[in-house]
Amino acid sequence: MFWNEKMETLRGKELQELQLKRLKETVARTQNIGFYQKMFAEAGIRPEDIKTLDDLSKIPFTKKADLRGGYPFGFLAVPMSRINRIHTTSGTTGKPTVVAYTKNDLNSWSELIARNLTMVGLREGDMFQNASNYSLFTGGLGFHYGAERIGCAVVPAGVGNTKRQIEMIQDFGVNAIHCTPSYAMHLTEVAEDMHANLDSLRIGVFGAEAWSENMRRDLENRLNIKAYDSYGMSELFGPGVAFECPEQDGLHIWHDCYIVEIIDPKTGEVLPAGEKGEMVVTPLVKEAMPLLRYRTGDITMLMEDDCPCGRGQKIARLFGRSDDMLTVRGINVFPSQIEHVLKNIPEVGDQFMVYIDRVNHLDEMTIDVEINKHLFSGELSDLARLQNKIGKALHETLTLRANVQLVEPGSLPRFEGKAKRVVDRRTI
């Protein structure tokens, strides 16, 4: 079922015409912003030079640091009197980034969330528990208004008090929940301890952090739900930019509202479908804060195959952040790819470390892997076999040879918070 069938399935010439019309409007709006006036002048382009979708490539990228430089309201394209809401995103360094919305922006955003929730099976009359932060974080209010839009009964549960959250699901008969995947895991564990009956729950919508297919299977089995991945970022409204459909194989990004490009994060070169790179997004319906070619820092790819559900081209689930990307012998490598390979080999333990060295002008990648002590056979020959198996699996995925070292359980560093598993020892 569709929320807005025409827009969700728009493709070919019709889609391109709409995108071009909206791109021109967006470019015109950006000319109210000092940053973009300067950018166009420096790049030697005028708004009227954008005549086709291909002309988009003439425009330089906008980076997160540019937005921070405009703190607080330097990127507004409309007078403050037209602003209806303000959110901020916490930066890891320095000042937050401020995002603002007109009435139309809030409407467009709710419409996108309504599409997503309808796509995964929510309907008028369903009860939706929004276990998400309701303050400056966009995940709370974003989902709240979107779920209200399709006629759900929304429980604005917010974060914390897990026992109370579980009681509400059980006592109210909640059908769907939105939260971060890690909170969903915690909630699952507590619910199991409480022997709670969560039979009414059918759908889980999880986002705002990376989560694996293993975690999906775990959540689906233990909560007896379908779990869907949600993608968004405040600069592009918030959650709802892209979302999984019931196929659970990639995320539909709404092409009538966002132009997607995948680039090589090092060179800026635009990559074809099927190749991994950094996603660059040009939002097409943002009024208060229009952006052009915004570098998301997220690594994904455009998928080549059509989706049976009839909606447009999908992006793959995220592979990681471009800041984490390594270039080894000219090949782009993400620590998440290594992690994925290792997680699928049972004889491998929990931890690994990656070291990059330059030996005789050549990059060498060494990966220390803890063995799983529960599957140690006692035989040296099995260890040698395991070492080869890991090396082969890594080579297949990375198209790069790595020197694999098996190390003792517990010998590698443990990390609290964000793991730093890569040590680049190259000196240029």
Instruction: Select 191 or 348, whichever has its Cβ closest to other proteins.
Output: 348
Minimum gap (Å) between residue 189 Cβ and Zn ion: 31
Choose the stretch contacting Zn ion; rule: CB under 5 A; options: 83-91, 237-245, 267-275, 346-354: 237-245
Secondary structure letter of residue 266 according to DSSP: T
Minimum gap (Å) between residue 420 Cβ and other proteins: 22
Minimum gap (Å) between residue 105 Cβ and other proteins: 54
Instruction: Select 84 or 403, whichever has its Cβ closest to other proteins.
Output: 403
Which pair of tokens denotes residue 248?
A: 């659970």
Secondary structure letter of residue 279 according to DSSP: E
Instruction: Select 39 or 119, whichever has its Cβ closest to Zn ion.
Output: 119
* SS3 (DSSP) at 211: coil
Which residues, other chains included, contact 66 with Cβ-Cβ below 8 Å and sequence gap of 6+?
Answer: 35
* SS3 (DSSP) at 259: strand
Q: What number of chain residues touch other proteins (CB under 8 A)? A: 19
86 binds, among Zn ion, other proteins, none (CB under 5 to 8 A by kind): none
Report the residue from 15, 194, 271, 309 that binds Zn ion according to the rule CB under 5 A.
Answer: 309
Report the residue from 400, 406, 412, 419 that binds other proteins according to the rule CB under 8 A.
Answer: 406
136 binds, among Zn ion, other proteins, none (CB under 5 to 8 A by kind): none
- 8 Å CB contact between 367 and 392: no
> Which residues are registered as beta bridge partners of 130?
178
Report the residue from 411, 415, 420, 423 that binds other proteins according to the rule CB under 8 A.
Answer: 411
Query: Can residue 253 be called a binding residue for Zn ion (CB under 5 A)?
Result: no
Sites for other proteins among residues 179-218 (CB under 8 A): none
Minimum gap (Å) between residue 377 Cβ and other proteins: 6
Strand-strand pairing, 320-321 and 326-328: unpaired
Minimum gap (Å) between residue 419 Cβ and other proteins: 19
Cα(373)–Cα(375) distance, integer angstroms? 5
Report the residue from 307, 316, 326, 371 that binds Zn ion according to the rule CB under 5 A.
Answer: 307
Instruction: Select 18 or 371, whichever has its Cβ closest to other proteins.
Output: 371
Minimum gap (Å) between residue 296 Cβ and Zn ion: 21
Query: Can residue 245 be called a binding residue for Zn ion (CB under 5 A)?
Result: yes
Q: Using alpha carbons, select from 323, 349, 348 the residue that is nearest to residue 424.
A: 323
Q: Tell me the per-residue interface mask from 361 to 400 with other proteins, x by CB under 8 A, - otherwise.
A: ----------xxx--xxxxxx-xx--x-------------
Which residues, other chains included, contact 361 with Cβ-Cβ below 8 Å and sequence gap of 6+?
Answer: none
Secondary structure letter of residue 361 according to DSSP: T
Which residues, other chains included, contact 7 with Cβ-Cβ below 8 Å and sequence gap of 6+?
Answer: 115, 254, 256
CA angle 115, 222, 207 (to 5 degrees): 35
**Helix %, strand %, coil % of the chain (to 5):** 35, 25, 40
Instruction: Select 104 or 372, whichever has its Cβ closest to other proteins.
Output: 372
Minimum gap (Å) between residue 228 Cβ and Zn ion: 11
Instruction: Select 307 or 406, whichever has its Cβ closest to other proteins.
Output: 406
Secondary structure letter of residue 144 according to DSSP: H
Instruction: Select 248 or 397, whichever has its Cβ closest to Zn ion.
Output: 248
**Torsion sign across C-alpha atoms 104, 108, 113, 119:** positive
Secondary structure letter of residue 306 according to DSSP: P
Which residues, other chains included, contact 428 with Cβ-Cβ below 8 Å and sequence gap of 6+?
Answer: none
Instruction: Select 307 or 412, whichever has its Cβ closest to Zn ion.
Output: 307
Identity of the amino acid at 89: T
Choose the stretch contacting Zn ion; rule: CB under 5 A; options: 55-63, 84-92, 217-225, 303-311: 303-311
Report H helices in 63-132. Answer: 64-69, 103-119
* SS3 (DSSP) at 60: coil
Instruction: Select 387 or 397, whichever has its Cβ closest to other proteins.
Output: 387
Minimum gap (Å) between residue 375 Cβ and other proteins: 9
Instruction: Select 149 or 311, whichever has its Cβ closest to Zn ion.
Output: 311
Up-side HSE of residue 395: CA atoms within 13 Å toward CB? 10
Binding site for Zn ion (CB under 5 A): 245, 247, 307, 309, 311
Binding site for other proteins (CB under 8 A): 371-373, 376-381, 383-384, 387, 405-411
